[in-house]
Structure 1
Amino acid sequence: MNSAKYKDEIYIHRPIRDLKDMIDTSAVLYADKNAFLVKNAPGGKYIPIKFSEFKSDIDGLGTAFMDLGLTGKKIAVIGENRYEWVVTYLAVVNGTGVIVPLDRELPAQEIHNLLVRAGVSAVVYSSKVGSVVEEAIREIDSIEYIISMDTLESTDNRLSLKKLVRTGNRLLMEEKRFFVDAVIDPEAMCSLLFTSGTTGMAKGVMLSHKNLTANVYNMSKYVDVSKNFTGLSVLPMHHTYELTCHVFTSMYQGCCVAICEGLKYIVKNMAEAQATVMLGVPLIFESMHKKVWKKAEDTGKADKMRAAVQLSKKLGKFNIKSTKKLFKSVHQAMGGNMQLLISGAAAIDPMVIEDFNAMGFTMIQGYGMTENSPIIAVNKDRYHKPASVGLPMPGTEIRIIDQDDNGVGEIICKGDSVMLGYYDNPEETAKVLVDGWLHTGDYGYFDKDGFLYISGRKKNVIVTKNGKNIFPEEVEFYLNKSDYISEVLVWGMEDEKSGDTIVCAEIFPDFPVIEEKKGKLSEEALRKLLKAEIDEANEKMPLYKRVKRFEIREKEFEKTTTKKIKRYAANHK
């Protein structure tokens, strides 16, 4: 579906000044609607939390924070995706101080370093990361309070979040309105987010209410989830992609957020929550796509499904959307209610998007970075192209600078969502913020219809001796098409004989698939099989992009929490 009649149409939603304004107005507009679906015990039933209750919990906790003397201070939050995490975030930014969301998968030493760098005064944490947090906070003098999301009672400076909410609500009954009447400065930093990477490399991105609400408001003009939608929250909330695009946009539009119990439970939770929308990273959607086709192969329905997909794609050109009935088994496998799938955070195979759209889902992708709160471009849910990351978000201007002969150059953007800068780092800020323009470090180009395409990261680009640019991501895309390759990383090195730059690859084979289709292979036979796969991929690329050498690895690559390979952890610089 790519209906050009929606080319110039946008959804109309109310303007919002800041996140406090967003929550206050949503609590009135959607008071009796479900804001969240949560589980009180693993494997239990989903329990709804109304918008009115959500606002009451935020106001209670915010009032208690200010009563503790935390006004204007930094408060860290660390833990898995859960309702209390969101309440904490909004209780801090909507009147108390500055929130510092931290990655729960970081080791204690890195958490310690970030807490020190940020000058944190309180830490709110879940019991799952309790021992790591206890180790991380040792010898940090600035920390006044440790607040547990799970304990029922407070002891000394170890406080109970649940009890704080009750304390705050009692103070509100006594007309202590310092939190609910707090005046928000939309231009001031309200959130300090550390980018992924080791603490030496991690930069603190400073975002304001204006940055975040501009992103929510403008993105909502392209994507609508207001029609009694329920979203399944799968990605870590400390990333702006999940937090802004899913959680805050849902709060704004009156969509319910169901907290997923973990990646292993996605399909189960989809059905239980009757989820209609999900944001994910390519790894999740590509894995689902593979499982759908594998099941079709195993049940002997693959040929029939391929024919149905092809027919649906043809009908799609005439804007006739495929019926769910035709792909009933696929819809049942996705919980039975799924309508909208949104991919981001990394490049996805456009065929996955094409197939899901042909099967009766709406699937789109977008593009952004933490430094832009995060969305820079996104496809409209009614006007989209599978291989593109979309159109510039309303209120965001995008330019392509230093273009080559093909129109490929660095993407820079300007708008209300551009960060305030990097915390305590004017040198790095000056490198990426030039006259209000955010230099993304990504290369891309526009097509004739104004859709943006990403070629790769500027810092990853391999430059040959005769000045040709090779994007590793493009080569990896072709290699990843192989059934026998699970993960791959491409880099360039100088060939000692020719002195020219050659393309190398490190491959983590899909061992279970290889064993299923080829049996147990010797090292030599495995190498021969992968060499044949590389040769096939090479045929699709010009000579200078072809892989000349490769290594095989036994373990999968180290990844970030959004499942992107840590390219520089592999030491192929």
Structure 2
Amino acid sequence: MFLERVVENLEKKSDKVVLIDKKNGKYIPLTFKDLKKRISTIQDKLSELNEEDRVVIFMENSPLWIASLFAVIFKRGIAVPSDYLLSEKEIFNIFRDAQPRYIITSSANEEKVKKAVKKLGYKPAVINVDKLSFDEDKPLTVKVPDIDEVAVILYTSGTTGNPKGVMLTYKNLNHNIEGIEDTGVLRENDRFAAILPFHHTYPLLVTAILPIVEALPVAFIEKLTPNDILSTIREQNVTIMVGVPKLYQVIYHNIMVEIGKLSGPKKSIVNSALKLFKKVGIKKLQRAVFKEVHKKIGPSLRFMISGGAKLNVEVAKGLEALGFNILEGYGLTETSPLVSVNRPDKKKIGSAGLPIKGVEVKIVNGEIVVKGDNVMKGYYNRPEETEAVIRDGWFYTGDLGFIDDDGFIHITGRAKDVIVLDNGKNVYPEDIENEIFKSNYILEVGVFEEDGVIKAIIRPDFELLIEEGVEDIHEFIKQEVKRTTRHLQSYKKVKEFKLTDRELPRTRIGKLRRFMLPDMYKEI
């Protein structure tokens, strides 16, 4: 099991650098020996933790976050990673449901925790890891759990605004780690970057747990800006970027804007090369032609991994044409998270890849249904809701899609997002969004239906539009919407839209919170 491999790394690879922190612009390397000290010191503060006691981890990504996770599960406690950006009311709701014995936090979040705890009716112990000293070598406690025991409870951020606690067992996590290893993606000199928040199952598994199991370094990002992310990837020779579609959309958009600023023969050559490489790709040649782009993004990058939401096909094709290697996957919190992924040697752009080892996938009435050791134990304290989604061992995902003749999974949307018009026609908002997003002048688009009318909220690239001297931005975007959707059937076309300079409402992992769009539309 993966826990035994972590213990072995702590003991036998004590001098190997595994975490690279970043503070005030400086990188601070931490070895397995340093990690062990931090785990044992935090365990010392968890002195009264019993097996199956819940421990909420409520803080920003850091080496101490990872140390806190292993401090808890090494003692057979249940870790409850929570989004540190939640409001006092939202975190109180998680505290009330999880009933933690301990809450591990940082100085930046301690005050919010203490305010939420006051309303609980009992007093869990609050540990601020920033106030601990890690100079001493304290004894490390490791209790071997049963593989079917719950390791973590993850509260879904909820695209519907109704978070539930997902119970994942050691078997679930172990299955996903073995599934990733089976894809052949990893090499012994790989390096990761911790870009996404660990409270979500995708980064938790791939950038918090997996690197510690595999003894592969993970670099932390000090400020979550595109510049700081890319500078860390370059300076720390990161080989595998784990991101969400929104990150790749920003990267691709900025590249295309720069290409648009070229003039004369150079612009013509670059556009011709992109057009050619979208049809026929030779990675070495592509990387040579777009050498400056790779130098800016990260010359060491082997793979861009995309998950958490569906990646726009144009973005994927564009980045592939530029010489990057995109591997898109699919999964849910309830599946630990991985269900399927594209492999380096088996890949279809626009698909979610092939199921990982030990996972069965089928389509029932258009819905994707999953079976395997990756499927959760259930929702915490919600047996009826668990029974509603797990039937005869199959997990009903709520996602719509199909499996092609080669076994690749294709996602078409969420069942609850499908717009059924008065004429009985079904409209998938993501399909419309993907077309509109082909415009280089549009950063984000959210489509929804109201009173039988298909509407959209669009966030244009105002800076680019002003730079190009566009005077009537609304009219310009109207023409862009018409141009990009002219081939769609009339009933799929956007009838009304509004512009905004605000980001559209999304979960922390980048999924559009579509249920919030009508209210946002009214506010604009």
Query: TM-score normalized by structure 1?
Result: 0.85
CA contact (8 A) 1:38 1:48 kept: yes
Name the counterpart of 2:445: 488
Match status 1:556 vs 2:503:
yes
1:302-341 → structure 2 map (5 Å cutoff): 302-316=267-281, 321-322=284-285, 324-341=287-304
TM-superposed CA distance for 1:217, in Å, is 1.0
Shift of 1:56: 4.7
Q: How many residues align?
A: 516
Residue in 1 that maps onto 2:306:
343
Distance 1:96 1:479 in 2: 49
Q: Residue 384 of structure 1 aligns to which amino acid in structure 2?
A: K
Report if aligned partners of 1:120, 1:142 keep a CA contact under 8 Å in 2. no
Q: Within 5 Å, which residues of 2 pair with 1:36-47?
A: 36-39=19-22, 41-44=23-26, 46-47=27-28
> Once structures 1 and 2 are overlaid, which stretch shifts more, 539-548 or 228-237?
539-548
Q: Give the 3 Å change call, closer, same or farther, for CA 59–186 of structure 1 in structure 2.
A: farther
Partner of 2:231: 268
State the Cα deviation string for residues 90-116 of structure 1 (Å, max 9, x = none).
111122411111101111111112112
What is the letter of the counterpart of residue 476 of structure 1?
Answer: E
Helix, strand or coil at the partner of 1:476: helix
Name the residue aligned to 1:9: none
Read off the aligned partner of 2:246 and give its amino acid letter: L
1:291 aligns with 2:254: yes
| Aligned counterpart for 1:277 among listed residues 240, 244, 251 | 240
Match of 2:467 among 503, 516, 520: 516
Aligned equivalent of 1:147, options 124, 127, 140: 127
Q: What's the CA shift string for 1:128-179, capped at 9, x where partnerless?
A: 223222222223344332111211xxxxxxxx3x35x84xx43x2xxxx7x2
Q: CA deviation at 1:465?
A: 3.2
**Counterpart of 2:497 in structure 1: which amino acid?**
F
* C-alpha distance in 2 between matches for 1:306 and 1:437: 47
Within 1, Cα distance between the matches of 2:49 and 2:170? Answer: 22
Once the two structures are superposed, residues 385-433 of structure 1 have per-residue CA deviations (whole angstroms, 9 ceiling, x without a partner) of 111111011111101111xxxxxx1001011010111111112112211
Offset, 1:77: 0.7
**Sequence identity (%):** 33
Q: 2: CA distance between counterparts of 1:71 and 1:303?
A: 65
Is 1:210 aligned to 2:171, yes or no? yes
Candidates 120, 128, 147, aligned match of 1:186: 147
The offset of 1:493, in angstroms, is: 3.3
**Aligned residue in 2 for 1:235:** 196
Contact 2:160 2:513 in 1 (8 A): no
Q: Deviations over 1:51-107 (max 9, x none)?
A: 344345334533x25533454311111111100001101111122411111101111
What is the letter of the counterpart of residue 307 of structure 1? S
Task: For residue 518 of structure 1, give the secondary structure of its aligned residue in structure 2.
Answer: coil
CA shift digits 1:305-331 (9 cap, x unpaired):
233334445553xx6643633221011
Kindly provide the CA deviation profile for residues 225-259 of structure 1, in whole angstroms up to 9, marking residues without a partner as x: 23311111101111111111232222233321001
**Residues 503, 315 of structure 1: alpha-carbon distance in 2 compared, 3 angstrom cutoff:** closer
Alignment of 1:17-56 (within 5 A): 17=1, 19-27=2-10, 30-39=13-22, 41-44=23-26, 46-56=27-37
Q: Which residue of 1 aligns with 2:212?
A: 251
**Amino acid corresponding to residue 185 of structure 1 in structure 2:** D
Q: Which runs of 5 or more structure 2 residues have no equivalent in the other structure?
A: none
Separation in structure 2 between the aligned mates of residue 347 and residue 198 of structure 1, nearest angstrom: 14
Pairing 1:412–2:369 present: yes
Secondary structure of 1:128's match? Answer: coil
Secondary structure at the aligned position of 1:490 is classed as strand
Supply the AA of the counterpart residue of 1:229.
D
* Structure 1 unaligned regions, length at least 5: 1-16, 152-159, 403-408, 495-500
Name the SS of the counterpart of 2:468 in structure 1: helix
Contact between 1:114 and 1:199, CA under 8 Å: does it hold in 2?
no
On the 8 A contact 2:399/2:414 being kept in 1, the answer is yes
For residues 105 and 529 of structure 1, the distance between their equivalents in structure 2, rounded to whole angstroms, comes to 36
Contact 1:74 1:118 in 2 (8 A): yes
Q: Residue type of the partner of 1:213? A: N
User: What per-residue deviation string (whole Å, max 9, x for no partner) do you get for residues 488-526 of structure 1?
Assistant: 2212234xxxxxx4422222333222222234x3xxx33
More displaced 10-residue stretch of structure 1: 440-449 or 331-340: 331-340
**Correspondence list, 1:326-405, <5 A:** 326-402=289-365
**Contact 1:322-1:359 at 8 Å conserved across structures:** no
d(CA) in 2 for partners of 1:537, 1:431: 40
The correspondence for 2:457, drawn from 496, 499, 506, is 506
Amino acid at match of 2:100: V
Q: Is the 8 A contact 1:23 1:55 kept in 2?
A: no
8 A Cα contact 1:379 1:390, kept in partner: yes
Q: Indicate the residue corresponding to 1:91 in structure 2.
A: 71
Q: Which residue of 2 aligns with 1:406?
A: none
